[in-house]
Amino acid sequence: MNQTIITVTLNPALDKTITLDQLEIGGLNRTKEIRIDPGGKGINAAKVLKTFHVDVLATGFIAGQTGKQLIGQLNQLAIPNHFVEVNGETRTNLKIVDEDANVTTEINEPGFSISNQEIELFKQQLSERITPHSVVVFGGSLPVNAPTSIYQELIDMANKKGAKTILDADGPALQEGIKAKPFAIKPNLYELEQLLGQTLDHQQKILSAGKEIIESGISLVMISMGEQGAIILNAKEAFHITPFSITPKSTVGAGDSMVATLAYSLLQNKSLEETGLLATTAGTITASKEGTQVCTLEEILQSINRSKSFNLNKMIKN
């Protein structure tokens, strides 16, 4: 049976990216370029994984004409998908790129609402697709009316089927989701600070926070820190991976590229250090691209030697 990476996007979106020479707040703006892409954390991860030539399936909920358009785009990208259709309309997320200031402003809609019956249907269909060889990625915001415990319930189900699970969420969805002990989580520094209710303003504090999460029963923690790279750790090892210098063009999808590469690394049984190097390089390359374009495996392998790894094992044993 093929090993499969399944990405779960409960609240997907069409990402509409508008590029301007310069954003005039309160004034008339004329677009330089417009592109529309299927979006949401899990879908972005699936787009990356498709370029890795691995068996990937995108799942979640979908609604309305926007949802049909999103599915059509996934089909054009040859990304296998299976979404539960619900009432309402899939959201459109607007990203405004100010080229002069090199700043992207994001405006995200809330999306559709889902019922308990629809949640149960999705659980049943997802359960049928998970095998002990699966890696399942859960990512992004929740639909309106979804219980904050939904990731916890889904991860618990996937864990019981023997799959490896990854959670990339924030706020209450992350707080509740980690109670199910996913195999790995990938918070950014701000999300980790919000989760633990403390400021993590130097490396030892970040490591201690990651260690606390590991001791709670999660096997791997990767903390993304933007241009400072990432810290990745498990119960035995820790590394700080620093990226090479780029001119960032869009941070949209950089974190999702890291999650996709983490999933790929788990499937390939990569070491912790190599996983950190691959994921950090992936995020860096995606951040160097315009709009919602993502990295490819070939690009990662060409640039991985430009990322640097620092062993922090002594620090986690203190």
Task: Give the residue numbers marked as catalytic.
Answer: 256
Spatial separation of the C-alpha atoms in residues 177 and 151, rounded to whole Å: 5
Strands of 135-139's sheet in order across: 81-86, 56-63, 5-9, 135-139, 164-168, 184-185, 220-224, 230-233, 238-242, 308-311
Give the CA distances from residue 180 to residues 127, 138, 203, 238, 286, in Å, rounded to whole numbers and listed in that order. 16, 12, 27, 23, 30
Phi, psi for 229 (deg, rounded to 5): 90, -135
Spatial separation of the C-alpha atoms in residues 219 and 163, rounded to whole Å: 13
Q: Print burial letters for 27-37: b (CB count within 10 Å at least 16), e (below 16).
A: eeeeeeeeeeb
Q: Is 172 left (phi over 0), alpha (psi -120 to 50) or beta?
A: alpha
By the 10 Å C-beta count (0-12 exposed, 13-18 middle, 19+ buried), 160 is classed as exposed
